[in-house]
Structure 1
Amino acid sequence: MNSILIVDDDHAICRTLEIHFGSIGHQVAIRHSVEEGLEWLNHNSADVLVLDIRMAGLSGLEGLPMFKALQADLRIIMITAYHDMATTIEAMQNGADEYIHKPLDLDEIDAAVASALKYRQQQNSDGIEVPQATVFGKYDLVGSSAAMRTVFKTIGRVADTSASVLITGESGTGKEVVARAIHNASSRRDQSFVAINCAALVENLLESEMFGHKRGAFTGAVKDQLGKFELADKGTLFLDEVGELSPGIQAKLLRVLQDREYIPLGAENVRYTDARIIAATNADLNLAMQEGRFREDLFYRLQIVNLHLPPLRERSGDLVELVQNLMTRSNREMGRSVNRISVEAMACLNSYHWPGNIRELQNLLTKAVALCNGEVLTADLLPEHLTRDVPPHEGAIGRFSDPHSTKNLSLQEIERHHVEQVLESTGWHKGQTCDILGVSRPRLQRMISNYGIQEPE
């Protein structure tokens, strides 16, 4: 029989979980504070801990390493009514195995517990020790969709390792932002983050840029120059557009990844580097390997961890949050106070397919904020190709009972209307609604509750 410890100050949730897990054969212990949970674990053991984040006294995040100190093999599932990327990363770095939002979906928490138990059994049988990261940095990523929560969890798990990471995804999805988030979440965060665009320079200049050169190494080399590998020593080197590397540079990069050594152009002595490598590409490297344009051995050295970023069209549930974040940033950079967006403008944004992804959205909003003379961003400030194909009464958010209304709503009001309309269009089928919105079932339930949306009788 497996033992589950639940630590949450919400008595109703505790009772629900106690009945649920007890009915399927688990032994359940309930405590309503971190302090009580630690006291219980000091005299008992558990297979899985379900831990709330925000409670009176010590928070779940503060208590998490304390629970781990008492029982190193304890599998921990964090639950919270609040969600943000930074908290997700901090929880995963401090040893959490999963991070679930309230209101709880029993299927989701069942899957998390089953996964934790399976992992614990494998860990105990194989003697695997998982290092626990304890650092926490500043980030610039936005999103609470299932796809982005997976990205945040992966960052939390790999940031404080030395493993090379290959970030894949379409152009404009934020690959360098993710690379910086990994660096900022790692113990290397106080060292240099150095980026180089592998597609921007011809081979000989790129080699010099990467490895440095001695004076006289080639025509125009009038003085010694440090390479990016040396500048990034003990920090992080980000290789953007790594799929564009020439065969010669690929071979030299492979040597650095294998042996941590390189030779600057025109030099005789080998130099060593402790730079952590993060690479990114929007190219299909599998196809490039098949065609002989990319080395297979280099690919596997770069892709110790693969982190794929979803395109914006697959993150429709994140669009309101992204718009809000990017508008706030544009306001700050340009000294503006554009704090609202019209229904028509938001409908246009929702109806667009975003081939340029977040970069396109950011550039578009920056321009619109710059051109806006008031506090409301209106549809006339958007490019024509976004507005010409969207009738006033159409679009994912524009279908209100009065389609020609000129009332300007807050982003939260727009999201509420959007959720209501999708629920109505699916006949309140929550699975279909989640697919259309691009959100998890718990998040949909949370939006229904927070916005007070009532299902028709």
Structure 2
Amino acid sequence: MDLRKENILIVDDDIDILELLQRHLQSMGYHTYKAVSVKEALYILKDTFIDLLITDIQMPEIDGLQLLKFSNEHYPEIPKLVVTGYPSVQDTLQVIKSGATDYLTKPFTKKELKEAIEKAFLQNKKRKTHTPKTTDSKPNIYSDMVGESDAFRKVTNIVDRVKDNKATVIIKGESGTGKELVARAIHYSGKFSREPFIAVNCAAIPENLQEAELFGYLKGAFTGANENRNGFFQAAKGGTLFLDEIGTASLAVQTKLLRALQEKEITRVGSRTVEKVDIRIIAATNANLIEDIKNNTFREDLYYRLTVVEIIVPPLRERKSDISILTEKFIRKYGIEFKDRLLRISPEALQILERYNWPGNIRELENIIQRAVIMSDGVVDVKDLPEFLKYQINFSNNELKPLREMEKEYIQRVLNHTQGNKTKAAEILQIDRKTLREKLK
């Protein structure tokens, strides 16, 4: 018998209503979370497993309808119940369209609340029972990673296959592609998610301290070792140790890592006692380890031990179709953080983002969106983007044209952007109006 209490999130800007709902729900045996705003509710939804969402509609800044639409899109499995003191036919239609399972008008009795909650859980159970399961389609959100491209799905397909075992994984990809996100997805989506996830950037640890930091040490093992201390291996016991930038590990550390992988045992610095370890190791690199092997800076036997499962994270330029989804994620994140509301991006600004090749990958995109949100007045528009992005022109081989033709097309684009205003167009082109008139002739 499942004795787990269901988690119910209550969202209402009226503190008295929140307290009343919480008392009723706790007396019914439910576990409750409270939020006085949609912003607070979004943080709870992100970090907590919620079984039912109960929300008011009329709230300042972001209203309950936006919360319903957002949760219906990103948490479709959660049933939603609306309570409101402003009932109307139009409100009811909007609520149902937004994915709510029921609508409760204030004031309501404890019995009415209980019946509405039981109805919501029952409808959700029936929906899950009658929803056909498909094997060829996956949601476009995987842990904190998002995407719909074939390149993204190749990555998540491998994550699905390794998440429930402790096979060693190496993740390769350019800087900024999200290698640590992939590692976290493997850990937190699998059956070992309740165990520790320890992330270590090998490049950030001085070479002479790497061995002590990873494997621990005994008091007196070296100058400054004033006590016995556990290393990252001991901290990750039963869980996952993520070794980022593994190519920067010293050769001495590489030797001990090899033994840890082969024999499942380690030795602290200054000790002769062997300790058994039960952890999963995920390594990551943006370097060419084969070249490092040729240069005798990386052990070949360690490379093959690490490469039991290999995941290649594609650069953003190879998954252009995911840019709009990633942009939405970052605009939502920083809109709530900096503006206390959900923002959107104009089609023109999104088009500019989609045609750029992103040498800094997802990290660069996130930084630019963060800046754009700060600079925006409610809608992220072209004016909020860095200047270098606005005038990017990317060519494919079949688009190569004479300079005169390209100049003509670009001038026309600028004129379209300024809605025919020649003075503004001349300023953008950094030429005077007379020169612009001559070129237009």
What is the TM-score of this pair, normalised by structure 2?
Answer: 0.59
How far residue 287 of structure 1 moved from its aligned partner, in angstroms, is: 1.4
Counterpart-to-counterpart distance in 2, 1:191 and 1:166: 20
Counterpart-to-counterpart distance in 2, 1:79 and 1:239: 32
How far residue 292 of structure 1 moved from its aligned partner, in angstroms, is: 1.7
Does 2:391 match 1:370?
no
SS at match of 2:212: helix
Q: Which residue of 2 aligns with 1:153?
A: 157
How far residue 289 of structure 1 moved from its aligned partner, in angstroms, is: 1.4
What is the aligned counterpart of 1:84 among 121, 132, 140?
A: 140
Counterpart-to-counterpart distance in 2, 1:368 and 1:195: 30
Counterpart AA for 1:379? V
Contact 2:356 2:392 in 1 (8 A): no
Contact 1:338 1:376 in 2 (8 A): no
Q: Which residue of 2 aligns with 1:301?
A: 305
Q: Which residue of 2 aligns with 1:386?
A: 389
Describe how 1:328-339 pairs up with structure 2 within 5 A: 328-337=332-341, 339=343
Does 2:269 match 1:197?
no
Counterpart-to-counterpart distance in 1, 2:341 and 2:409: 28
Contact 1:170 1:282 in 2 (8 A): yes
SS at match of 2:310: strand
| Percent of aligned pairs sharing the same letter | 43
Does 2:370 match 1:314?
no
* Rg (Cα) greater in structure: 2
SS at match of 1:166: strand
Which ranges of structure 2 fall in alignment gaps of 5 or more residues? 1-125, 394-405, 421-441
Deviations 1:356-404 (A, max 9, x none): 10011111111221232x211122322222124469x989xx9899655
Q: Which residue of 2 aligns with 1:359?
A: 363
Counterpart-to-counterpart distance in 2, 1:265 and 1:287: 30
Does 2:225 match 1:221?
yes
Counterpart-to-counterpart distance in 1, 2:192 and 2:225: 32
Q: How many residues align?
A: 282
Deviations 1:296-354 (A, max 9, x none): 11011111000000000111111111100111111233343352223442232122211
SS at match of 1:78: coil
SS at match of 1:60: coil
How far residue 225 of structure 1 moved from its aligned partner, in angstroms, is: 1.7
Counterpart-to-counterpart distance in 2, 1:282 and 1:313: 16
Distance verdict in 2 for CA 1:261–1:342, change over 3 Å: same
Counterpart AA for 2:135? M
Which ranges of structure 1 fall in alignment gaps of 5 or more residues? 1-53, 62-76, 87-138, 407-457
Counterpart AA for 1:286? I
Contact 1:167 1:279 in 2 (8 A): yes
Deviations 1:152-182 (A, max 9, x none): 1111111111110000000000000000000
Describe how 1:30-429 pairs up with structure 2 within 5 A: 57-61=129-133, 78-79=135-136, 83-86=139-142, 139-337=143-341, 339-372=343-376, 374-389=377-392, 404=418
Counterpart-to-counterpart distance in 1, 2:239 and 2:128: 38
How far residue 186 of structure 1 moved from its aligned partner, in angstroms, is: 1.6
Contact 1:195 1:240 in 2 (8 A): yes
Counterpart AA for 1:202? P
Counterpart-to-counterpart distance in 1, 2:369 and 2:128: 40
